[in-house]
A and B are shown apart, each in its own frame.
Chain A
Amino acid sequence: MFIERMIKLIVVFLSALFILYPLFFSVVTALKSREAYVESPLGISLDSMSLDNFIKITNNFDFIHKMGNTAFVVITSLIIIFAFSIPTAFYLCNMNNRVTRNFLTIICFSFMFIPEEVLILPEYNLMSKLGLINNFLSVIIIFVAVSLPECIYLLYMYFSLVPNTIINAARSDGATELQCLKRLVVPICKGPILVVLFTTGIALWNSFLIPMLLLHDEDKKLLLPSLSGLITKHSTTPTYQMAGLLLSMVPLVLVYFIFRRHIYEISINGSMH
C-alpha cells in the first residue's frame, strides 16, 4: 500500500518536473537582464528580476501586428481544415465499401508520419512558381495540406464511436446526411472536435520553418519566425526572446480556458439501453 502510494507520488512528481522545468527556465530567463543571464543562466536572484524584457519587446518590436498576422493565418487555416475534415471524416464512417475505406484511412494515417521538413523544398518551389511568396495564401495552403490528413484520421476515429443506430434513427426520422452531421455527430463529438482543433491550432501557431521561408516581408512576417530573428539581430542571449515567446503563448492559454469546459464533453449516455 505504502510503496504503491510512494511510486504514484514519484511518478507524478517526475512528470511535473519534466513539464515545468522548461516553463520555469523560460520564465526565469525572461525576467533577467542580459548581463545577469550571461553571468549565470540558471541562477535566480530576486533583486535583478524585472519586467524590462516584456516592456522592451512590446515597445521596440511590432508584437501586436505580428501576432495579428499569425492569428489571421492560423484561424483561416483552421476554418478551411475543419470545413473539409468534418464532412470527410463522417463520409468515411459511412462508407460501405470496406476496402476503399481502409485504403483512404491508411493514406491519411501514413501522412501523419511524413516530417514537415522533407516537403519544404518542393513546397517552396511550387509557391514561387505560383507567385505566392510573401502572400499569406501560400502558408495557409500548406498549413491546410499538412494538417488535413491527421485531422481527418482523428475525427474519423472519434466519429466512428457514435453508435450507428443513433445515426440510423435520424435517417429514418427523415434527416439528410448533412442534418445528421450538423445536429448529431458534431454536437455529440464536440469535445473531441475541440481537442483536435486546439492541438492543430497550437501546432500551426508554433509552426516556424514554413512561414519563415515563405513570408519575408517584415510586414507579412509571423510571430515565431520574427522572434527567432531577434536572436541574430540583437544579441545571442535569449532573455529578450523568452519574454516574446511567453507573450506569444498568452492567446493559446486564453483560448484553452474559454473552451476548457467543453473539451471533456463526450457523452452518448442515456441514448441506448
Chain B
Amino acid sequence: MSKVSLNNLTKDYGKTRALSDFSFVSQENEFVVVVGPSGCGKSTLLNLVAGLEKPTSGSVHVDGENITKLQPNERNISIVFQNYALYPNMTVYENLAFPLSVRKYDKAEIKELVEEVAEKLEISSYLKRKPKTLSGGQRQRVAIGRAMIRKPHVFLLDEPLSNLDASLREKTREELIRLHNSIEAVFLYVTHDQVEALSMADRIIVLNEGVIQQVGTPEEVYYCPENLFVAKFIGSPKINILPTNIYNSFFEPINLCCDDSLCVGIRPENIMLNTDNPDNDDKNGVITLIEMLGKEFAVHVQIGSYSLIASVPAHTFNDSFRCGKKVQCMVDEEKVIFFDVESGERIQKNSLHL
C-alpha cells in the first residue's frame, strides 16, 4: 500500500518556470496519468518526485513521510526514462540485477528475481546480450524490468511507449496495466498521448505550461472538461468549439441571446448529420472532407465560416455522405458544454438561466 502526495511543487530553471504550484494527493496504489503537450513540465515533475532535481519550493511525501530532502538512492522510487537509459557496459542480466546488486543482495536471490522478472517480460532469452544488440521494444522491456525488480513504492514512467510501433504499444500497454494490478505501488505515468491517458488511467492530470488544468477520472476529463484547454487536448477527433451566434444559426437555438462572452463545445460524436433533408435551407452545412478512422468516419462540415467535425459510426455511414452534399446538423442539447471565452473556464449549465 503506497500513497504519494505532492504539495505546491514549483520548479524554476533560471527564468522559466517548468512547474508551478503542483499539488496532488494520490489514492492508494493509484494509476495516475500525467498528460500534456511537449514542454509542459511532465519530465520535470517525475524528476522532482524521483529526487533527480531539487524543487524550488514545495514538498514530496510518500506514505506520509516527507522525502523532499532525500537523495534519489534513498527513496524507494523506480523510474523508466523517456529514452530508456540502459547501462551500455552491462548485459541485460546485469542491467536487471543492478538495483539489487547495489543493495548487496546475495547472488542466489538476485538470480532468482532476475529470472522471474525476465520471464514475466519475455526477455529471458536475451539475458546475456548487451543493450546495443536489442531492438527498441526489447530495450524498453529491459528498462521496465529494471524498474520493477525491486518492489518500489512509486513507479515513474516517462513516455515509455513513445518509441514503439502501434502493435507493440498496445501489447505493452496491457502489460503495464497487468503489472500495476500485480504490484502495490502508485504509478505516475507521463504521456502526451491522450488516447493512452484515457485508456490506462484511474485518474488523469492534465498539465499545460507547468500548471494543472484538471484532475479527474477519464470520464470526468472527457465529458466535463474544466476549461477550453482540456476540452481541446482530450479527445480525438477534436471537440468543436463554436461561438454562440454560429451555434444559434445552425443548430436548434438555445435561449442565450447570442451571448458573446460564451462559446459552446460539442464532441464530434454528439453531432448527428441528417442527409435526408436536402432542401435549400440556410441552416444546412456542406460536407467538405470525409476521413475514414476505422470504426467511425470523421465528416468535416462547413457551417458559415466555421468547419466542424462530426463522427459518424461506420454502421450508420452510407453513400449519402459525399463531399459537397448539404446536411443538417443536430445535437443533443444535454451534451453541449459552455465555456467562458475570456477565461476559457467551463460554465455550469444551470447557472446560465437558459
Contacts and interface: CB of A to CB of B under 8 A. Distances in A.
Contact of A271 (B47, B72, B88): B88
The B interface is mostly helix, strand or loop, or mixed, namely loop
A179 interface: yes
Contacts of A172: 50-52, 72-73, 75, 77-79
Interface residues of A, number: 24
Nearest to B163: A273
A2 B44 CA distance: 55
A173 interface: yes
A165 B88 contact: no
Interface stretch (B3-11, B57-65, B125-133, B339-347): B125-133
B24 interface: no
B131 A171 contact: no
B52 A168 contact: yes
Interface string B53-84: 00000000000000000011101011101111
Contact of B88 (A168, A267, A273): A267
B85 A271 contact: yes
Interface string B71-104: 1110101110111111111100000001100110
B134 A171 contact: no
Contacts of A187: 89
A271 B50 contact: no
A22 to B, nearest CB: 39
B196 to A, nearest CB: 17
A170 B84 contact: no
Contact of B73 (A175, A271, A272): A175
B216 interface: no
B83 A184 contact: no
Contacts, number: 94
A270 B86 contact: yes
Nearest to A270: B132
B72 A270 contact: no
B73 A169 contact: no
B98 A269 contact: no
Given A171-B52, A173-B98, A173-B102, A270 B81 contact: no
Q: Which residue of B77, B81, B131 has the most chain A CB atoms within 10 A of its CB atom?
A: B81
A173 B79 CA distance: 8
A11 interface: no
A126 interface: no
Interface string B150-167: 100000000000010000
Interface string A153-193: 00000000001011011111111100100011001100000
A68 to B, nearest CB: 35
B146 interface: yes
A165 B88 CA distance: 12
Interface string B5-41: 0000000000000000000000000000000000000
A89 B230 CA distance: 46
A267 B73 CA distance: 25
A163 B82 CA distance: 13
Contacts of B81: 165, 168-169
Contacts of B89: 184, 187-188
B136 interface: yes
B88 A188 contact: yes
B87 A184 contact: yes
A169 B163 CA distance: 18
B18 to A, nearest CB: 16
A202 interface: no
B139 interface: yes
A268 interface: yes
B110 to A, nearest CB: 13
B73 A174 contact: yes
A171 B163 contact: no
Contacts of B77: 172
Q: Which residue of B50, B84, B146 has the most chain A CB atoms within 10 A of its CB atom?
A: B84
A271 B90 CA distance: 10
A97 B90 CA distance: 31
A168 B132 contact: no
Contacts of A163: 85
Nearest to B143: A169
Contact of A169 (B51, B79, B134, B150): B79
Contacts of A184: 87, 89
B88 A270 contact: yes
Contact of A179 (B83, B102, B163): B102
Nearest to B54: A96
Contacts of A175: 73, 98, 102
Contacts of B90: 183
Contacts of B86: 166, 169, 270-272
Contact of B85 (A165, A176, A188, A269): A165
17 contacts: A165-B81, A168-B47, A169-B146, A170-B87, A171-B71, A172-B79, A173-B102, A174-B73, A175-B102, A183-B87, A184-B87, A268-B88, A270-B139, A271-B84, A272-B85, A273-B83, A273-B163
Given A183-B102, A271-B86, 19 more contacts: A165-B81, A165-B83, A166-B88, A168-B85, A169-B81, A169-B85, A171-B72, A171-B73, A173-B102, A176-B73, A179-B102, A183-B90, A188-B88, A269-B132, A270-B130, A270-B131, A271-B85, A272-B83, A272-B86
Interface of A: 163, 165-166, 168-176, 179, 183-184, 187-188, 267-273
List of 4 A-B pairs having minimum Cβ-Cβ separation, nearest first? A270-B132, A270-B131, A271-B88, A269-B132
